[in-house]
Amino acid sequence: MSTDAVPGLVAVLAVTIATVAIGTWGLRFSRTTSDFFVASRTVRPRLNASAIGGEYLSAASFLGVAGLLLVGGADMLWYPVGWTAGYLVLLVLVAAPLRRSGAYTLPDFAEARLASRWVRSACSLLVVGVGWLYLVPQFKGAGITLESAIGAPVWVGPVIVGLVVLVNVMSGGMRSITFVQAFQYWLKLTAILFPAMVLVVVWWGEGRPAGQGVGGGWSDPVAGGGGIGLYSTYSLIIALFLGTMGLPHVVVRFYTNPDGRGARRTTLAVLALLGLFYVWPPVYAALGRVYGDRLVREGHADVLVLELPRLMVDGVGGELLTGLVTAGAFAAFLSTASGLVVAVSGVLTQDVTSRLVTAREPGSVATAFRLAAAVAVVVPLLVALVVGEVGVAQSVGLAFAVAASTFCPLLVLGIWWRGLTDAGALAGLAAGGLGAGGAAVLNLAGVDAAGWAGALLAQPAAWSVPLAFAVMVLVSLATASRAPAHARRFLVRLHTPESLGAEGLSAGRR
Amino acid sequence: MTERVRVTGPPRHDAAGRPASRLGDVHEQTALGDVYLRSLLREQLGLALAVLVALAVTLGALPLAFHLWPGLAAVDVLGVPLAWLLLGVVVYPCLVLLGWRYVRRVERNERDFADLVEGRAEGSE
């Protein structure tokens, strides 16, 4: 720890204080239980889109992508592209119907659609699983960021992020988190865009030195050669394109829209905001080719975004830029972790802790929510502190594969097909969850197979997603008599515009 | 002398002179409501699938194209490798444009549907 640590330390402190301050300011608007969970469903599309963008741009986006691109080349561009295109798929298949379903969480949707406690429980289990699978790399990323920025021991980052998130989520719930996350999107965009522009100018001023050996694998968007490379690339594309709709923190956000039309407009704005952000990580990777081969040799490509300013600019300028990117990275962990914790604790509250806390007195729901939030943070925090090396983007990729193999078929068939039954849904969730989840566990456990077996395990989506769809459809057809009687009525509600009064009708039914 | 016959049809207007709403048909399980809902569902699903197909034949075809013609990896445009230009920059405005057109179309479908079930179908009044 030396004077090198000062800009990083200041940046982390500033982001933490701003986050807590905005959270507290948002608290003034957070008075009711409804505010607490869903910001009373009155968040306007633009604010909501900024909040979704802030929540969605995680450690993997801010740090992971640039590092992956530097080492892996163009085939890693599928990560940012897939994370964005996933919102287009979500827009056309689920955005408006999901909002109209009135479901707060995925288990809510499953229960309302299929009238089955069993499917609900299976979904709750999966939400918590996917959420934790996604939280672990956020905590890990916080560790390496603080290690790189201020030379702190690797456990400090996860603990700080965990504490700040917990305080914020516990005190303000969804309403104050919305303001915090909207702020964090713009902070992240500034923190990646401004240094990138400065660095490009510096590179230009030095006579545009070329990176070594452009061409070959670096400009090929297919991972490796032959059939295996093609399979892996397509499997990753399927996981990312279809997995977005099944991420717990994304779904919860849709309920804060006023109506289905608002949900669509929010999604469209998110598409634009994500595109605006993802143009910049490749710039860091390209400059890293010129200035950052030391990082690649030492296996520290993950911190490319943090180190590049210092490598290219000497003196105060470099320190200031370092402070800015550190602030952005720290905001990335805080906002994504907050979103995931809100989503996971929403599910835990409904299915676990609200049964533990006496449901009589008013305000006890908030108590149950706070208890759930503590559990939602502590478990993945402990996992992050215990497990060894986890590539940030790869483990996020596995969370997408599991989401694509379970919630994607459930949502798509539940919204568009009347014939889905509870038995079919359960069988499909089990097939997809065990398939993709099993592959994820084997991967994290360090199983390393060669050739096709390895590719099928590392990128399971191309087989697990069709498998889940097929099982869900076939078992539903075989148990057609179990199709819920209200399925038709429910579909009417999902697909008719609110202006026709479908909402009023179904509200009367509840 | 021809006899006067009163010609009647299904009421187009209710007692107050407003067009009769077919909304009830959609909510209740009538054959007519079924037809309306099916047509809306088919139209919206068709639109969604059109977007997904557009995505598959453009973006989705890229890995196959680079696999079949490995020479593409060596192509530079303005000093930037083709793959980086397409996947790093060009793809984002295209996704937004596709989404924007989808939202316009789908909102028009919903307006038409609302007009239909509320009895304001174009040209009928």
* pLDDT number for residue A510: 34
Confidence (pLDDT) at A215:
45
Higher-scoring residue by pLDDT: A44, A97? A97
pLDDT in tens, A171-216: 755 556 777 788 888 988 998 888 888 888 888 888 777 766 444 4
**With bands split at pLDDT 50, 70 and 90, how would you rate the model's confidence at A407?**
very high
CB contact under 8 A, A495 and B26: no
The mean pLDDT value for A89-118 works out to 87
Q: What does the block give as tokens for A173? A: 């719930």
Nearest-CA distance B10 → chain A (Å): 22
Per-residue pLDDT at A506: 39
Residue from the list A219, A233, A502 with its beta carbon closest to the beta carbon of B73: A219
Q: Which pLDDT score, from 0 to 100, does residue A473 have?
A: 94
Residues 14-43, chain B, touching A (beta carbon < 8 A): 23, 26-27, 29, 33, 37, 40-41
Q: CA A451 to CA A464: how far, in whole Å?
A: 18
pLDDT at B18 over 50: no
pLDDT of residue A1: 42
Put simply, the answer to whether B83 touches A220 (Cβ < 8 Å) is yes
| Stretch among A59-63, A104-108, A175-179, B118-122 having the lowest mean pLDDT | B118-122
The arithmetic mean of pLDDT across residues A53-77, rounded, is: 83
A57 touches chain B (CB under 8 A): no
Q: Which amino acid type is present at position B106?
A: V
Contact A88 B55 (CB under 8 A): yes
What whole-number distance in Å separates Cα of residue A425 and Cα of residue A468?
Answer: 9
Q: How far apart are CA A440 and CA A390, in angstroms?
A: 12
pLDDT for the residue A455:
79
As given in the structure block, the two tokens for residue A310 are: 């210092």
Average pLDDT, chain B: 75
Q: Residue A215 and residue B74: Cβ atoms within 8 Å?
A: yes
Q: What is the pLDDT of residue B99?
A: 93
Task: Say which of A74, A93, A489 has its CB closest to residue B83.
Answer: A74
Instruction: Classify each residue of A170-186 as buried b or exposed e, where b means 16 or more C-beta atoms within 10 Å of its C-beta.
Output: bbbbbbbbbbbbbbbbe
The residue to which tokens 């204080």 are assigned? A17
Identify the top-confidence range among A365-379, A414-428, A452-466: A414-428
CA–CA min distance B4, chain A (Å): 41
Contact between residue B116 and residue B17 where contact means Cβ atoms under 8 Å apart:
no
Side chain identity, residue A123:
C
Q: What is the DSSP letter of B81?
A: E
Residues A119-169 have pLDDT tens digits of 898 999 898 988 888 888 888 888 887 887 777 787 888 888 888 888 877
Q: Is the dihedral of CA A37, A41, A46, A49 positive or negative?
A: positive
- To the nearest whole Å, the CA of B110 is away from the closest chain A CA by 6
> Could you give the CA distance from residue A12 to residue A326 in angstroms, rounded to a whole number?
7
B59 contact A CB<8A: yes
CA distance B8 to chain A (A): 29
Domain ranges within chain B, ordered by starting residue:
45-118
Residues of B in contact with A88 (CB under 8 A): 51, 55, 95, 98-99
What pLDDT, on the 0 to 100 scale, is given for residue A412? 93
| Test the B interface: residue of A496, A499, A503, A509 with most B CBs within 10 Å | A496
User: B53 CB near a chain A CB, below 8 Å?
Assistant: no
d(CA A253, CA A105): 9
| Beta carbons of A329 and A98 less than 8 angstroms apart | no
Closest CB from B103, B113, B114 relative to A265: B103
Tell me how close the Cα of B9 comes to any Cα of chain A, in angstroms: 26
Least confidently predicted of A193-207, B46-60, B72-86: B72-86
Select from B45, B92, B117 the Cβ nearest to the Cβ of A500. B117
First vs last C-alpha separation in chain A? 60
Contact A230 B113 (CB under 8 A): no
Q: Is the pLDDT of residue A278 over 90?
A: yes
List CB contacts (< 8 A) between A203 and chain B: none
CB-based contact (8 Å) between A84 and chain B?
yes
- pLDDT tens by residue, A10-20: 877 887 787 77
pLDDT at B16 over 50: no
**Closest alpha carbon to A268 in B115, B124, B97:** B97
A220-229, A497-506, B114-123: segment of lowest average pLDDT? A497-506
Cα A14 from chain centre = 24
What is the model's pTM? Answer: 0.84
Mean local confidence (pLDDT), A395-405: 86
CA distance A203 to chain B (A): 15
B67 touches chain A (CB under 8 A): yes
Dump pLDDT digits (tens) for A489-499. 888 888 887 77
Task: Please indicate whether, in this complex, the C-beta atoms of B83 and A275 are within 8 angstroms of each other.
Answer: no
Answer yes or no: do B60 and A500 touch at CB < 8 A: no
Q: How many CA atoms lie within 13 A of A52 on its CB side?
A: 34
Instruction: Considering only the beta carbons, identify the residue of B60, B87, B114 that sits closest to A497.
Output: B114
Asked whether the beta carbons of residue A89 and residue B52 sit closer than 8 angstroms, the reply is yes
- Other beta carbons within 10 Å of A459: 27
User: Quick one: average pLDDT of A221-241?
Assistant: 83
**A51-65, A416-430, B84-98, range with the lowest pLDDT:** A51-65
Residue to mutate among B22, B103, B116, with most A CBs inside 10 A, is B103
Asked if residue A509 has pLDDT above 60, the reply is no
In percent, the amount of chain A with pLDDT more than 90 equals 15
**Residue B118 DSSP SS3:** coil
In this prediction, residue A431 carries a pLDDT of 93
| Dist. CA A162–CA A160, nearest whole Å | 5
A-B contacts at Cβ under 8 angstroms: 135
Residue corresponding to tokens 């049809």: B9
pLDDT: which is higher, A15 or B100 = B100
Choosing among A289, A494, A500, which should be mutated to test the B contact, i.e. which has the most B CBs within 10 A?
A500
Say whether B73 and A220 touch across the interface (CB within 8 A). Answer: yes
Residue A482 forms contact with B (CB below 8 Å): no
Contact A219 B84 (CB under 8 A): yes
Asked if residue A270 has pLDDT above 80, the reply is yes
Tokens of A121: 């429980």
> A500 to chain B: which residues are within 8 Å by CB?
23, 26, 114, 117-118
The mean pLDDT value of chain A amounts to 80
The Cα-based distances of B68 to A112, B64, B81 in angstroms read 47, 6, 17
Residue found by looking up tokens 């119907």 in the block: A97
Rank A64-68, A430-434, A487-491, B110-114 by mean pLDDT and report only the highest: A430-434
pLDDT band at A432 (very low <50, low <70, confident <90, very high): very high
Q: Which residues pair with B13 in a beta bridge?
A: B19
Give the pLDDT of residue A295: 76
Structure tokens at A392: 């940030």
Q: How far apart are CA B105 and CA B112, in angstroms?
A: 11
The pLDDT confidence band at residue B124, using thresholds 50, 70 and 90, is: very low
Q: Tell me if A190 sits within 8 A of A29, measured CB to CB.
A: no
Across the range B67-76, mean pLDDT stands at: 77
Residue B106 pLDDT > 80, yes or no? yes
Contacts of B49 (CB under 8 A, 6+ apart): none
From A129-133, A424-428, A442-446, the region with the lowest mean pLDDT = A442-446
Q: Helix or strand or coil: residue A29?
A: coil
Q: Sign (positive/negative) of CA torsion A89, B63, A396, B94?
A: negative
**Which A residues, 271 through 310, put their C-beta within 8 Å of a C-beta on chain B?**
271-272, 274-276, 278-279, 282, 286
The residue in chain A having the minimum alpha-carbon distance to the alpha carbon of residue B87 is A77
What pLDDT is stored for residue A396 in this prediction? 77
Please tell me the distance from the alpha carbon of residue A182 to that of residue A170, in angstroms, as a whole number.
18
Candidates A221, A239, A237; CA nearest to B62 is: A221
Q: Is B48 on the interface with A (CB under 8 A)?
A: yes
Cβ-based neighbours of A79, under 8 Å, separated by 6 or more? A60, A64, A65, A68, A236, A240, A393, A397
Bigger pLDDT: A322 or A404?
A: A404
